[in-house]
């Protein structure tokens, strides 16, 4: 059967002359999986004997994919460009982030289950801790979890100058702020300086609507500071010796873009399994279904085997499943070397469960990372990430280990993130001939 899709002419770079998938073959049930260890790629670490965590860890299932398949390295965006988790996942799902990315806020909102309307402005927020002088001492308020929902509700539903404010906890210290009303704009500056020891920045706007929006934000932040500082939850946190979540940092103002949906673009139906609201938001924006998994926390304590079981059951319904595990990135940002190694080995267990239950011969599967987060840097960098792809149709190269160095000598070579799915779909016979 041949499914014909007419690409939209919407100025977003999704026209037929740029998209080779507007005629795709759809046969029986496909089983395509992309497993992403968030921030899993690294540089050599001195305490690990100048090896990367992947080289140091016991990742035999990842190495099995390398041994039986094709290997390479991926520049999630392009060489040397440092990707965010959002833009990297957009690329790994076969889209050009330069064409559809409007900012992080809208993705966090979608991932948190907020229904957005055209014209809404969304922000990614952090609960943070300020000292008595208003200086940031903890950008994540001790990675607050359980208390965050109560604090968020105290700021939800406020109206300022006719603009309704929606505020919701996303995951741990991460929150979402949505403005809904007239004469508002995404053209406002962030308040998050992305470092401690300084005061939060003051939001400023560009243009009449931007300045009106910045004024609304300034008033909201004043309300938030007063409300959170006096909240019983924070008084109890101080009593327990925990950092209070007494302020909010804003960044990533964005609006809902027009995007060609995944099924229309590629002709396959897809799902996403992730604990992190940002990745869920990318999935929802692109038209993938989000499968909620109990125990998927987005942290080091996430239940990887529940994620594996959810992947296995999802493959009975969906052709394609994206699986994200965030814990490796969290360990990297905190400089926790052996926690990262342990998380890699947990991801390997997840992979092993999928291979055991589905049978490797039934899968087209890729293992990769969305970006490099070196432990000794504690933030994202523009280094390429390893990738290994297995399919019964794939060539088998000489790579035997899954890590940043071993994969670089594989037959795939060095590719862009948006090339990954076309390579995998080609192995499944999906796509059309370009030319005659």
pLDDT tens digit sequence for 49-106: 999 999 999 999 999 999 999 999 999 999 999 999 999 999 999 999 999 999 999 9
pLDDT value of residue 431: 84
- State whether residue 97 is helix, strand or coil: helix
Does pLDDT of 400 surpass 60? yes
pLDDT value of residue 69: 98
Nearest to 178 by CA among 139, 124, 219: 124
The strand ranges marked E within 78-143 are 121-130, 136-138
- DSSP for 337-390, please give it: HHHHHHHHHHHHHHHHHHHHHH-GGG-EEEEE-SSB--TTT-S-B---EEEEEE
Does pLDDT of 19 surpass 70? no
What percent of the chain is modeled with pLDDT above 90? 89
pLDDT tens digit sequence for 241-293: 999 999 999 999 999 999 999 999 999 999 999 999 999 999 999 999 999 99
Does pLDDT of 230 surpass 60? yes
Instruction: Write the CB contacts of 267 (distance below 8 Å, at least 6 apart in sequence).
Output: 3, 5, 21, 24, 25, 26, 430
Give the domain ranges of the chain. Answer: 2-6+30-100+261-427, 109-254
Does pLDDT of 14 surpass 90? no
Q: For the domain with range 2-6+30-100+261-427, which CATH number is right: 2.40.50.140, 3.30.450.40, 3.40.50.1820, 3.40.720.10?
A: 3.40.720.10
- Distance of alpha carbon 279 from alpha carbon 262, whole angstroms: 15
pLDDT value of residue 295: 94
Query: For all residues of the chain together, what is the average pLDDT?
Result: 93
pTM of the model: 0.87
The strand ranges marked E within 172-319 are 174-180, 247-254, 270-273, 289-290
pLDDT tens digit sequence for 104-126: 999 999 999 999 999 999 999 99
DSSP class of 182:
S
Give CA angle at 210 (207, 212), nearest 5°: 110
Instruction: Write the CB contacts of 316 (distance below 8 Å, at least 6 apart in sequence).
Output: 29
Nearest to 391 by CA among 21, 32, 36: 32
pLDDT value of residue 21: 52
Mean pLDDT within 287-301: 95
Q: pLDDT grade, residue 7 (50/70/90)?
A: very low
Considering only residues 14 and 355, tell me which one the structure prediction assigns the higher pLDDT: 355
Mean pLDDT within 345-349: 99
Mean pLDDT within 357-382: 98
pLDDT value of residue 17: 40
Separation in Å, CA 398 to CA 65, 69, 337, 360, 402: 12, 9, 29, 19, 12
Mean pLDDT within 317-327: 98
- State whether residue 419 is helix, strand or coil: helix
């Amino acid at each position: 059967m041949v499914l014909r899709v007419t690409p939209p002419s919407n100025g977003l770079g999704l026209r037929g002359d740029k998209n080779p998938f507007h005629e795709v073959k759809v046969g029986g049930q496909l089983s395509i999986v992309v497993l992403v260890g968030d921030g899993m790629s690294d540089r050599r670490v001195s305490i690990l004997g100048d090896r990367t965590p992947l080289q140091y860890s016991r990742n035999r299932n990842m190495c099995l994919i390398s041994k039986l398949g094709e290997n390479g390295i991926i520049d999630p965006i392009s060489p040397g460009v440092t990707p965010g988790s959002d833009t990297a996942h957009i690329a790994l799902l076969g889209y050009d982030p330069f064409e559809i990315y409007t900012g992080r806020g809208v993705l966090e909102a979608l991932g948190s289950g907020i229904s957005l309307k055209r014209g809404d402005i969304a922000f990614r927020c952090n609960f943070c801790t300020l000292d008595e002088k208003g200086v940031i001492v903890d950008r994540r308020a001790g990675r607050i979890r359980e208390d965050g929902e109560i604090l968020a509700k105290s700021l939800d539903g406020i109206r300022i100058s006719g603009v309704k404010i929606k505020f919701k906890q996303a995951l741990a210290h991460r929150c979402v702020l949505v403005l809904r009303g007239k004469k508002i704009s995404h053209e406002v500056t962030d308040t998050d300086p992305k470092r401690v020891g300084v005061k939060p920045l003051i939001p400023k706007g560009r243009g009449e609507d931007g300045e009106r929006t910045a004024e609304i934000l300034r008033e909201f932040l004043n309300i938030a500071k007063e409300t959170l500082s006096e909240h019983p939850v924070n008084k109890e946190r101080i009593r327990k010796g925990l950092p209070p979540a007494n302020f909010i940092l804003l960044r990533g103002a964005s609006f809902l873009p027009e995007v060609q949906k995944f099924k229309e673009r590629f002709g396959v139906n897809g799902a996403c399994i992730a604990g992190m609201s940002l990745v869920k938001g990318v999935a929802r924006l692109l038209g993938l279904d989000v499968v909620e998994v109990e125990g998927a926390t987005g942290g080091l304590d996430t239940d990887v085997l529940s994620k594996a079981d959810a992947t296995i059951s999802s493959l009975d319904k969906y052709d394609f499943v994206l699986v994200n595990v965030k814990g490796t990135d969290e360990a990297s940002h905190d400089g926790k070397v052996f926690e990262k190694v342990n998380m890699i080995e947990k991801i390997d267990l997840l992979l092993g469960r999928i291979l055991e239950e589905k049978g490797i011969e039934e899968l087209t599967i890729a293992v990769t990372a969305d970006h490099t987060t070196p432990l000794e840097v504690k933030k994202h960098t523009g280094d390429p990430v390893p990738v290994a792809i297995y399919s019964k149709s794939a060539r088998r190269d000489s790579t035997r280990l899954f890590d940043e160095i071993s994969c670089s000598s594989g037959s795939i070579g060095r590719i862009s993130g948006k090339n990954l799915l076309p390579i995998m779909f080609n192995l499944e016979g999906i796509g059309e001939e370009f030319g005659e």
